Amino acid sequence: MRLDKYLKISRMIKRRTIAKEACISGRVLINGKIAKASTEVKENDIIEISFAKSSLKAKVLNIATHVSKEDARNLYEIILDSEENI
């Protein structure tokens, strides 16, 4: 599955267009490498997302094309969730 679609379906990022913009700006890494929106996501990949004031690091547990809001949390496991204090 494409990275931008996975980020939307897993609800790590709310909209697919925002996920694509994050990838274009180089704020999304897969296994330590900058990833394009079209990069294929596989199970056990590590996704790192840098937001404005925080970052998220998660391990992909499952790939699914359609999930409910409640089940979206089961697609990944959070490894690190940090927030900078200003």
The answer as to CATH 3.30.930.10 being correct for domain 3-83 is no
Indicate the domain borders of the chain: 3-83
Amino acid at residue number 11? R
What the block records as the tokens of 71 is: 């089940």
User: Which parts of the chain are beta strand (E)?
Assistant: 28-30, 33-34, 46-50, 54-60, 76-83
Q: Which tens digits make up the pLDDT trace of 30-66?
A: 999 999 999 999 999 999 999 888 999 999 999 999 9
23 in Cβ contact with 15 (< 8 Å): no
Mean pLDDT of the chain: 93
The pTM score is 0.89
